Amino acid sequence: MPSHACSPTRRIGHRLLAAGLLCLGLAGAAHADLWAFVDARGVTHFAAEQLDERYTLFFRGSSFDSERDTGVPAQTQAARGRVQSYFDVLPTYKSAQPHLRRAAARSGVDYALLKAVIATESGFDTQAVSPKGALGLMQLMPATAERFGVAPTGARSLAQQLHDPAVNVPAGARYLRHLLDLYGGQLELALAAYNAGEGAVRRAGQKIPPFRETQNYVKTVLALYRQLQPLAPVGAAPRAESGARSSRIRMTLPGSASGTFDEKREP
């Protein structure tokens, strides 16, 4: 990814987030832990396990099923509020919010899910570029973006288009909507395909592929998605934001395998 200096406001916001990584209340079993670190550019990286010594424990989660565990204890509500507040201080998230809201309303993908995917994919860095060429907030490969309606114009190349949140987020939401429909609303499979490719899910027998990176990715997005659900009174079920259709959240996934895989690069 190209380097660029952070503005003073952005640096302050990320310092607050970094401090928050160290002081969140930790409780529950270790089925949905989330680790994070803030890099030198001020971009937050999340993972479902401690990938290296830079990662600190963001929160320790427990097994969760939104169709079973509808009650939200006060302690969980408080922790969730703290997680959400850390995102709210990020100028990059604030600037992306209108695009997320419109994309959620138009695609029917839950706003909180889009937020979790972007946080995992790019840390809300609009200029993010992966080693293999995935671009922008939702880290779309150019071929995937074209498949879902993005095309170069006379004024801007395809890459320039994908660095624009007004283009990137709706295209990514359309792709995620397609995957959710393709897998009958099975969120874990849709996320696995978003990361590893539809072909990899098919070859795995319509299951999450046995790649450590992909399983970590699915766990990470689901863990963030749970924490980013709209706050509700104790005992109330989570509600989707912006009128979007929500998907069932299940937090217990297969253990990580030892294989390696290059995300979103397989047809």
Q: Which residues belong to the active site?
A: 121
Distance CA 241, CA 101 (A): 8
The answer to whether residues 79 and 24 touch, using CB atoms and an 8 Å cutoff, is yes
Q: Which residue has the tokens 């699915």?
A: 218
208-241: string of b/e by CB count within 10 Å (b at 16+)? bbbbbbbbbbbbbbbbbbbbbbeeeeeeeebebb
CA neighbor of 4 nearest in space, from 54, 37, 43, 44:
43
Q: Are 8 and 1 in contact (CB under 8 A)?
A: no
CA dihedral 176, 199, 217, 220 (to 10 degrees): 50
Q: Taking Cα atoms as reference points, which of 97, 242, 90, 243 lies closest to residue 165?
A: 97
In terms of C-beta distances under 8 Å and separation of at least 24 residues, what long-range contacts does 234-237 make, across chains too?
234/71, 234/72, 234/73, 234/74, 234/77, 235/70, 235/71, 235/72, 236/70, 236/72, 237/66, 237/70
**HSE of 159, CA atoms in CB hemisphere, 13 A:** 6
Q: Specify whether the CB–CB gap between 248 and 67 falls below 8 A.
A: yes
Question: Which pairing describes strands 44-47 and 56-59: parallel, antiparallel, or unpaired?
Answer: unpaired
